[in-house]
Structure 1
Amino acid sequence: MKNFRTYLSVLALAALMTLISCSKDDDKTAAVKPSENIMTTLLQETTWTQNTAAAVSWELGYVFSTSSAGKITKLSCKMPEPGSYTVSLWDQSTKALLRQKTLEQSTPDKFVEAGIDEFLVEKDKKYVISINTVVGGSAKKFFTISNTNVNIFPIARGSILVQSSVYKAVATPKFPDGGAETGRMYGFSDFTFIPD
């Protein structure tokens, strides 16, 4: 009987130690930072005007960096016409393609997104996110946004800083190095960034 009481005491002590340990681990768990989507955020602000541009063959995007390291987990887009659009993530300095996803826009004017293999983002490094406006050999309409400022860049929201819009007249996905724009953003490609 004495052994049985000792056994129960040891079990009770072990259970108590487990509870204490778990509560200490819970205290150490860092708060998960919320994800950020720069284009989605901008479109929710009333100071921006959304316009629809004519159908032209373009690779449209913007140069961005982040104020902290983190990861990109999804690519997304919002286009005025249905179709399968290619969204690309590029290294701005080397022009290397880092990630690419084809997204099916079945409902016009609504963001669609898809997960990608996580991409680790370096703090302050410049990247480009872009979308190609050609689907099945046909150019599609695209969106632009602007506001009352002549030069809208840089644009900072959360950890994300957008330096400029970029574009290239091309019918297939290529790095958009044909020019830069300071007064508006072209093509609504976006990404989900989770800061460290």
Structure 2
Amino acid sequence: MEPIYKISTKKIRLLLAAVVIPCLIISITRLYYCDKVEYVRPLALEGEMQLRNDRFGDGHYAARRAGGKRHAGVDILADLDTPVIAIRGGRARALIDEDGFGNYIIITHWDETKSLYGHLSRVLLPPLGFVRQGDVIGEVGKTGNANYKSMKAHMHFEIRRKGKTIDPTFIMEAENIKK
């Protein structure tokens, strides 16, 4: 009796390679590393992360801003030069926005979700921009509109899915966060 479905030796080798190397996903245009946990903390901080809340505004997600705008992320307080961590692996780009985020990084993850890290003093990306979950990608600073003497150092952190921002505090509160 003939088998209903024949699998070529080449397909079997590919399937075995996918099982043996589960943390490397290759597509035609992108190279991503699988993540060990769903998310890791975006900053190398011990203990609870605190959000900025001062005379310059509330650092919570959707807080009111000048002109009726809403805050699209969260502002996490940290000392200057605290290491900034990639929450998931993906392709990273470094950008500059003098009036807004200052020096910032956007990482496009395997599922097209994006994470944004703003107001960095330094950007530390590899030449091709591919980062793994947990890599140090920059340092907290006071660039862009965070460059006020009396404003505390912080990192603006956003997550975007399908072009829309979502509240990133679930990452800060999630049980699966690697601390």
Range class of TM-score, shorter chain: under 0.3
- TM-score w.r.t. the length of structure 1 is 0.26
TM-score by length of 2: 0.28
Between the two structures, name the one with larger relative contact order (CA 8 Å, sep ≥ 6): 1
